[in-house]
Structure 1
Amino acid sequence: MSQTYYITTPIYYVNDKPHIGHAYTTLSCDVMARFKRLDGYDVTFLTGTDEHGQKVEKAAEVAGVSPQKFTDQVSQNFRELTAKLNFSNDDFIRTTEDRHKQACQKIWSILLENGHITLGKYEGWYSVRDETFYTETELVDGKAPTGAPVEWVEEPSYFFNLSAWQDKLLAFYAENTDFVGPESRFNEVKSFVKGGLRDLSVSRASFKWGVPVPNDGDHVMYVWLDALTNYVTATGWPVDGANGDAEKHERLWPADLHMVGKDILRFHAVYWPAFLMAAGLPLPKRVFAHGWWTNEGQKISKSLGNAIDPNHLAETYGLDQTRYFLMREVPFGNDGIFSVPALTQRINGDLANDLGNLSQRVLSMIFKNCDGIMPAQPEKPAAEDQALLASVDALLDTVRQHIDKQAFHEALRVIWQVISNANRYVDNVAPWALKKTDPARMAEVLAVLAETIRQVAILVQPVMPDAAAKILDQLGVDPAARDFTQLAGQARLANGQMIAKPEPVFPRFVDEADINAG
């Protein structure tokens, strides 16, 4: 039985339409999921929508529809984004589903029975926009640290005894040094916990749109206990419930990776582990917090009207080109600056010039100079052949190490180093000149290059699935022979098959506005 890999995005809040931040998180998970599938894992990739809370209740009221109808409409936008950006998620969860309500009520009942939830009274500052309570000391000029307005709230509330879990959490962090990535974010989490934890309000009585608290109809579950539980809901937990699946839960839990934005790391690296410890459930293996994109250095916000629509990017610049840019441009985990010139440079430089041109000119020479028949690998490779093949054969191990740390930019960087090696090799060996002087050597050189392109194309499948498939099709690679067992010298490109006239895979991007201006 193959090894399992369970990866999750956060569930996205349905009070707004999808933007580049949502696409970025889900894309990173899609790349991980596709990589692991190609590497022989049985992958489950979960995404979905977070549909409860006061914000949704108010937004539905403004729209003049019921909260359920409102969430049905907005959740669909996120489903459509997964299809448009070619995300390969295996499940899509909504917190309004029965399977999820049952899981939430089960975890609540366990926490209550174990003495970790008690009824009290909440007094404090609350931000509807952030769905978060803040202390007086956290306020900045009378507002939340995020800039959101706050209001004073006094209401009965159930509390989770988070303060009791400080030492257990710190011990867990000490034993699990890779639990949070990147390291700088882990240091922030540990510092926060060392500073002391306060008990956490886990219910609200001032609105009704939420999972009802078991045996207390006056309260609904606080959005974070509700939302975080989705990760176990999707595994078929509780296994004895109406939607239970003991085999699936055993196979998938604990999750291998929760991917989150840095703004929600505290909930995933502090509150969620504490809830799970208190409920007697295993903790996830890793949480990774990525950075934010700015629009040419300016923070993206609704008020500024500078949101970046991922659908527009894909339609304008190409889907795989957009996917590549988002994974390559910024060290994953850092904040990034989105700009059209940077995107255009990646498309025209890395894709059209480097990989696209390499593939196009090699396949064109095979089509033209070898009668369209794929040549055989050299029986006695020359030193330069060996050097290039050794560099591409070594890629899988290096790329895997980077991917396992979520260093997507580094994985792509080392692949592009080999592409650069291959382009230098073409220029140095000059197969076009060998056609007249040594056609047998020319055929060997083209075979070495075609093999290099084959391995590169297999490795870039997680980031650019469609473009990679086109390259592999042009090479005549069997669709059943495109996983990672075919890499690192375990297999070589077959020879003797006919290839069709190659078509460019990465057209250069030329801005029509520039043409018109010229």
Structure 2
Amino acid sequence: MTEEQSDTFYVTTPIYYPSDRLHIGHAYTTVAADAIARFKEMKGYDTVFLTGSDEHGQKIERRAAEAEENPKDFVDEIVGTFVDLWQTLGIDYDQFIRTTDQYHKDAVQHIFDTLHDKGDIYLDEYEGWYCTPCETYWREHQIGTENECPDCGRELEWVEEESYFFRLSDYADDLYSHIKENPQFIQPESRRNEMLSFIEDGLEDLSVSRTTFDWGIDVPFDEDHVVYVWIDALSNYITALGYPESDQRFEKYWPADIHIVGKDILRFHTIIWPAILMGLDLPLPEQVFGHGWLLTETGKMSKSRGNVVDPMELSEDFGRDAIRYYLLREVPFGSDGTYSTEALINRINSDLANDLGNLLHRTLSMVEQNFAGVIPAPDKKSEIDKDLKNMALKTARSVADQIDGLRYTQALEELMNFVRRSNKYIDETRPWILAEDEDQHDRLKTVLYNLLEALRFISIMLKPFMVDTPEEIGHQMGCRREIVMSDWSDLDEWGQLPVGRSVRKGDPIYPRIDLEEYFAGKEETEEVDSETEQTQEEKKEMPEGLISFREFQRLELKVAKIEEAERISGSDKLLRLVIEIGEDEKRQLVAGLARHYSAEELMDKQIAVIENLEPAEIFGVESQGMLLAAEDKDGSLSLLEPDVRVEPGAEIS
């Protein structure tokens, strides 16, 4: 992907299917898209980063029925976990589209109508093999004798039904020519050759409606059919921008600069999607990048194999920046790679603790020891300083080129080479020796300033890849605001770090992780989880709805007094309460009372609370317990209060 003269940049991920929680492979795609979006913003582009959820289909309908929920409620809950994960990983998307959004449904019906009116969609009979998890039809000649899906290996279903078809075969020649004449359209190059071969084998018309399930967008002129995934899900990239309305946003940002997808869905994005766009007389995206799979030692991740890696759990264990760094550093983006926790820990220890963390800690320690923590002004320069400066400027240019080409592994390798060069600069200049000689005081100023300036370069170059680390480096260097507000042009010149600021050396930003201790701790956790599962099995033997007396005894119920109450910004139902729950002990609660009580009404009330509940973050605020309230038939809430006032902290038994 080359940098265009345009001042806009539109990047998308696939919209993910909410039949279950996302795994690290989904995080891999989305972190990669987030990195290029952050970089383009730093380069001054008006950037739009789109992600979302593909919420219709037979699989969702079946899963919802199994859960005894309606499909919308079912997907709402799972989509909520998507949003939570992206927030945890620092994914700074501009828009999250859901295919259940009304504007999307209206636009899809318009697209279906348009293609039908043009003659590109026609009614016929379909019979053949169908994979529900992949939402893919297969012809006899495409599958083996075992009737298994060529993509996922699951058993196929035989389907016979009336269906509307899209004339995909009519666009084969145009698709082939476009791919041939635009080498950058499909990347990496190997994927481009695969798609050309696929077209050469012949394209068949595509089923774009279903009658065997109801959970989808109605075909506008035939109530017996719902729109199938291709026109529904793939169209999100234009409906999110306001298509088909005469929308300035659509005209401004379309065509997309890049769709980032996994290689398993590249065919849909480089053959089906462009053909639909051709049918609508719309420009094609500039590029579709099909990255490789993130595998485990037992192969491709799947729940059935029990090898799914949870990115939320990894973030809790190692922090989101370490996960983001590892995903983009470990495997060349176009290739398959293998995830292992051991490799993750080794990467954290070698790159982030030994190299980056050590550079920051050593530098700030010397500034504190020799200049009372104040950034010195450079004075006496040497040839070796010029070498460090030239490498910094060269690295910034090269890292930018690598990010532009989605060569994240190479970008981070070059960045870490500069980190290692900066550590070597310490060994070469030996500031601890300079500190012992009064005549070398000015030289020491220059050496330490150069190290701090190198760290400024490093922190800015890390911003597309990491969320918190650049800011923390800036904070410890006394220039947090400059780092947070920086863009890529701040790497055009050496020597921009302001002097006279006070550094704030903190704990090492990446402490080393002991592999044996980590895995031993995980084994203990798994044993506890196993015991918990056993307890859950025992509970199943009890009549439904009952708990044991032992379980009840674990609850610590107490009387508390409300001392403060205020609305939580952005929520129309949540209040933040400060309660007194004993002598000199105060707690913070989050309660859904705002529609039932004003903050003033709650002041000085005595309430019943569960004291020993695990703290939880609700709407960004930590809640350290739970109050008890009764809900009437109409949904109104009434607090449970003692009939006479008692001392806060009194036990309820």
TM-score computed with the length of structure 1 as normaliser: 0.96
> By how many angstroms is 1:138 displaced?
1.9
Looking at structure 1, the residues matched to 106 and 54 of structure 2 have their Cα atoms a distance apart, in angstroms, of 15
Q: Provide closer, same or farther for how the CA distance between residues 306 and 491 of structure 1 changes in structure 2, counting only shifts above 3 A.
A: same
Partner residue, 2:314 = 313
Cα shift at 1:305:
1.3
Pick aligned residue for 2:53 from 27, 49, 52: 49
Aligned to 2:147: 142
Correspondence 1:416-495 to 2 at 5 A: 416-437=416-437, 438-477=440-479, 479-480=481-482, 481-489=485-493, 492-495=496-499
Alignment of 1:101-120 (within 5 A): 101-120=105-124
Could you give the per-residue CA deviations for residues 258-280 of structure 1, whole angstroms, max 9, x where no partner exists?
A: 11111100000110000001101
CA offsets 1:70-128 (integer angstroms, 9 cap, x no match):
11111111111111111101111110110110111111111112211111111111111
Q: Could you tell me how far 1:336 is from its partner in structure 2?
A: 1.2
Distance 1:94 1:202 in 2: 19
Deviation sequence 1:277-302 (CA, Å, 0-9, x none): 11011111111111112222433221
Alignment partner of 1:258: what SS?
A: strand
Cα separation, 2, equivalents of 1:368 and 1:163: 73
Secondary structure class of the residue paired with 2:424? helix
Q: Say yes or no: does 1:159 pair with 2:141.
A: no
Aligned mates of 1:188, 1:174 — CA distance in 2? 12
Residue deviations 1:205-256, cap 9 Å, x none? 111111111111011111121000011011011115xxxxx11111111111
- Partner SS state of residue 191, structure 2: helix
Gaps of 5+ in 1: 241-245
Moved more, 469-478 or 33-42: 469-478
Distance 1:478 1:147 in 2: 51
How far 1:174 moved relative to its partner? 2.2
Distance 1:381 1:171, change over 3 A: farther
1:514/1:164 CA distance change after superposition, 3 Å: closer
Structure 1 residue aligned with 2:95: 91
User: What is the RMSD of the two structures over their aligned residues, measured on CA atoms?
Assistant: 1.7
TM-aligned CA deviation for residue 187 of structure 1: 1.1
Say if 1:27 and 1:72 are closer, same or farther in 2 by CA, change over 3 A: same
Q: Over residues 144-176 of structure 1, what are the superposed CA-to-partner deviations in whole Å (9 max), with x where a residue is unaligned?
A: 112111111111111111111111111111222
The separation in 2 between residues aligned to 1:355 and 1:381, in whole angstroms, is 24
Residue 491 of structure 1: how far off its partner (Å): 5.7
SS in 2 for 1:11: strand
Q: Could you tell me how far apart the structure 2 residues matched to 1:421 and 1:209 are?
A: 58
Give yes or no for the alignment of 1:349 onto 2:354.
no
Give, as a single letter, the amino acid of the residue that structure 2 aligns with 1:142.
Answer: N
Q: Distance in 2 between matches of 1:38 and 1:484?
A: 5
How far apart are the structure 2 equivalents of 1:150 and 1:32? 38
Task: Return the letter of the residue paired with 2:155.
Answer: P
2:325 is equivalent to residue 291 of structure 1: no
Q: Assess if the C-alpha contact under 8 Å between 1:295 and 1:306 holds in 2.
A: yes
Deviations 1:346-374 (A, max 9, x none): 11000000011011101111121112111
Matched, 1:217 2:218: no
User: SS of the residue aligned with 2:304?
Assistant: coil
Q: Would you say the 8 A contact 1:398–1:411 is kept in 2?
A: yes
Verify: 1:507 aligned to 2:511, yes or no: yes
Distance across 1 between alignment mates of 2:298 and 2:76? 34
Give 1:234-245 correspondences, 5 Å limit.
Answer: 234-240=240-246
Per the alignment, residue 366 of structure 2 pairs with: 365
Number of residues of Structure 1 aligned to a counterpart in Structure 2: 511
Whole-angstrom distance in 1 between the partners of 2:52 and 2:490? 34
Q: Greater share of helix residues, 1 or 2?
A: 1
What letter is aligned with 1:391?
M
Q: Which residue of 2 aligns with 1:403?
A: 403
Secondary structure of the 1:377 match is coil
Distance 1:515 1:161, change over 3 A: closer
**Secondary structure, in 3 states, of the residue corresponding to 1:9?**
strand
- Aligned equivalents of 2:114, 2:87: Cα separation in 1: 37
TM-score by length of 2: 0.76
Consecutive unaligned residues of structure 2, counting only runs of 5 or more, are 524-653
Give the match for residue 194 of structure 1.
Answer: 200
Q: Which residue of 2 aligns with 1:381?
A: 381
**Greater Rg, structure 1 or structure 2?**
2
Cα distance in 2, alignment partners of residues 467 and 513 from structure 1 = 22
Comparing 506-515 with 393-402, greater Cα deviation is found at 506-515
Aligned partners of 1:278, 1:334: CA distance in 2, in Å? 33
Percent identity of paired positions between Structure 1 and Structure 2:
46
Residue 325, structure 1, aligned to residue 331, structure 2: no
> 1:392–1:488: 8 Å Cα contact kept in structure 2?
no
For residues 214 and 338 of structure 2, the distance between their equivalents in structure 1, rounded to whole angstroms, comes to: 40
Q: In the alignment, residue 202 of structure 1 is paired with which amino acid?
A: V
2:90 counterpart SS class: coil
Distance, in Å, in 2 between the alignment partners of 1:193 and 1:434 is 68
**Residue in structure 2 matched with residue 497 of structure 1 by the alignment:** 501
Give 1:501 deviation, angstroms.
3.0
The equivalent of 1:125 in structure 2 is 129
Q: How far off its partner does 1:381 sit? A: 3.3
> Match of 1:177?
183
Shift of 1:488: 2.5
Amino acid at match of 1:259: I
Alignment partners' CA distance in 1, 2:394 and 2:218:
55
For the residues of structure 1 that align with 2:504 and 2:134, how far apart are their CA atoms? 56
Corresponding letter in the other structure for 2:108: C
* Contact 2:381 2:443 survives alignment (8 Å): no
| Structure 1 residues 288-335: Cα deviation after superposition (integer angstroms, max 9, x where no partner) | 111112222433221121110000111111211111111100111111
Instruction: Indicate the larger mover: 392-401 or 12-21.
Output: 392-401
For the residues of structure 2 that align with 1:6 and 1:400, how far apart are their CA atoms?
A: 18
Supply the distance in 1 between the matched residues of 2:378 and 2:520 (Cα, whole angstroms).
Answer: 44
Is the contact between residue 471 and residue 480 of structure 2 (CA under 8 Å) also seen in structure 1?
no
Match of 2:261 in 1: 260
2:214 is matched with which residue? 208
| Residue identity matched to 2:477 | L
Corresponding residue of 1:243: none
- Of the structure 1 ranges 392-401 and 44-53, higher mean CA displacement relative to structure 2 is found in 392-401
Give yes or no for contact 2:64–2:70 (8 Å, CA) kept in 1.
yes
Q: CA–CA distance in 2 between the matches of 1:513 and 1:37?
A: 37
